[in-house]
């Protein structure tokens, strides 16, 4: 079994296959140090925590993560808070930076003898429509190589070899560009709120998400085409405080990225012996924090299906894998798009222009809407 990519999906899949006695190898383009330190999302859903606990992989998040269930909306009409942990099903997020989760999974995998090849770039998946697919690679020394197995799991992202290797017509791509861009910022500064902050402002959206006691994630809506370094630190903090409608605890900006809000889903998530999971399967906007949580859910479903097939000759799980995942992806996609409409002051010529304000007011006043929000916000 060949697993492409050492993110949450690939490493969880590797751990679960290893525990089941299935021989596998993980191929990762980056160096180990980069894998352990690349900052990504940090909100783990309750079901994600249950999956990790079910397989004995949750010690790190219980030791260093913290539960969270409060969000605050700031608009021109005022502010309101939702304790979503007391609404809906009463479930909470666990705030645990993704690089920490990846580090935990990597340490567990290698500690139990799991095989991983860092600095190994997958170039193409060959013969996926047969029973002996292979992956051509470029090794750390630049020399070509080839791995062969019964199945290949593409957990290597939207631009990885798994997606690139799909032949024309093998899958349908459902892509939508929402026409909105965010400047993603990691600030070496303590959180300014005890809640996730969502600010709707005529100048654009701003978001506040605590990561640790000393690190805060911010998002700032920016014009399409903005480069990460186009705005000075002073301008960024001034815009954040304007849109958040209040002073913030400032610090050095240690990471900047520009995120174009898109959804990009493939259907089906299988081509012969090649299966897709994580960002290779679907990319949703970060507006609802679903990416890593979907990756974990998909990895568990795929690990169970592969184990049943390889060890017991039962292919039912593999045959149903795509449909089971896509049902969750579509639900997450719908909520992500709802959040985009809720948080952004869309152009006057948009059919959604007059919907945002009533939606916020209903969310503020309706218990039924709040229960629905809580269930969708935490669930996958």
Set out the domains of the chain in order of their start, with CATH numbers: 2-69+88-175+262-341 (3.50.50.60)
pLDDT over 70, % of the chain: 98
Nearest to 146 by CA among 161, 118, 119, 125: 125
* Averaged pLDDT, 334-349: 81
Catalytic option among 271, 290, 321, 344: 290
Burial of 348 from C-beta contacts in 10 A (0-12 / 13-18 / 19+): exposed
Q: What is the DSSP letter of 167?
A: P
* pTM (2 d.p.): 0.92
> How much of the chain is helix, strand and coil, in % rounded to 5?
40, 25, 35
Catalytic option among 84, 219, 286, 321: 286
Measured CA to CA, the distance from residue 373 to residue 83 in angstroms comes to 11
Nearest to 3 by CA among 102, 149, 140, 113: 149
Is 68 a catalytic site residue? yes
Measured CA to CA, the distance from residue 289 to residue 43 in angstroms comes to 7
User: Residues 6 or more apart from 263 whose CB is under 8 A from it?
Assistant: 174, 175, 176, 178, 282, 283, 284, 285, 333, 336, 337
201-234 tens-digit pLDDT = 999 999 999 888 899 999 999 999 999 999 999 9
pLDDT band at 357 (very low <50, low <70, confident <90, very high): confident
44-86 tens-digit pLDDT = 999 999 999 999 999 999 999 999 999 999 999 999 999 999 9
Is 290 a catalytic site residue? yes
* Averaged pLDDT, 164-185: 95
Tell me: pLDDT of 263 over 60: yes
Catalytic option among 84, 109, 219, 377: 377
Catalytic option among 68, 93, 208, 344: 68
Catalytic option among 198, 218, 219, 321: 198
Is 286 a catalytic site residue? yes
The 3-state DSSP class for residue 371 equals helix
The 3-state DSSP class for residue 234 equals helix
Is 133 a catalytic site residue? no
Nearest to 125 by CA among 81, 99, 155: 155
Is 377 a catalytic site residue? yes
Task: DSSP for 136-150, please give it.
Answer: EEE-TTS-EEEEE-S
């Amino acid at each position: 079994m060949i697993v492409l990519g050492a993110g949450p999906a690939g490493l969880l899949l590797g751990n679960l296959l290893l525990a089941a006695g299935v021989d596998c190898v993980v191929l990762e383009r980056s160096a180990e140090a980069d894998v352990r330190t690349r900052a990504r999302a940090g909100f783990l859903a309750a079901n994600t925590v249950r999956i990790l606990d079910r397989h004995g992989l949750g010690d790190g998040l219980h030791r260093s993560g913290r539960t969270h269930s409060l969000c605050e909306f700031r608009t021109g009409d005022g502010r309101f808070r939702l304790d979503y942990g007391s609404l809906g099903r009463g479930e909470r997020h666990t705030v645990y930076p993704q690089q920490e989760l990846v580090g935990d999974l990597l340490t567990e995998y290698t500690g139990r003898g799991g095989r991983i090849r860092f600095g190994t770039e997958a170039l193409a998946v060959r013969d996926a429509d047969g029973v002996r697919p292979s992956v051509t690679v470029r090794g750390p020394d630049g020399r070509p190589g080839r791995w062969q197995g019964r199945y290949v799991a593409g957990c290597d992202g939207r631009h990885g070899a798994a997606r690139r290797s799909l032949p024309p017509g093998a899958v349908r791509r459902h892509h939508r560009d929402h026409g909105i861009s965010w400047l993603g910022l990691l600030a070496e500064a303590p959180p300014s709120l005890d809640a996730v902050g969502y600010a709707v402002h005529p100048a654009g959206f701003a978001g506040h998400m605590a990561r640790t006691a000393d690190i805060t994630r911010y998002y700032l809506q920016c014009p399409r085409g903005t480069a990460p370094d186009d705005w000075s630190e002073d301008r960024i903090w001034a815009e954040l405080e304007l849109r958040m409608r209040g002073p913030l605890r400032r610090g050095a900006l240690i990471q900047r990225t520009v995120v174009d809000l898109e959804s990009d889903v493939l259907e089906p998530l299988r081509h012969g012996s090649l299966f897709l999971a994580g960002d290779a399967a679907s990319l949703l906007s970060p507006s609802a924090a679903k990416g890593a949580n979907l990756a974990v859910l998909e990895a568990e479903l795929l690990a169970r299906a592969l184990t049943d097939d390889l060890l017991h000759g039962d292919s039912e799980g593999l045959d149903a894998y795509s449909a089971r995942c896509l049902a969750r992806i579509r639900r997450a996609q719908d909520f992500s798009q709802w959040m985009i409409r809720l948080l952004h002051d869309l152009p006057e010529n948009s059919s959604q222009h007059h919907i945002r304000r009533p939606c916020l007011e209903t969310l503020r006043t309706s218990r039924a809407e709040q229960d629905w929000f809580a269930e969708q916000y935490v669930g996958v």
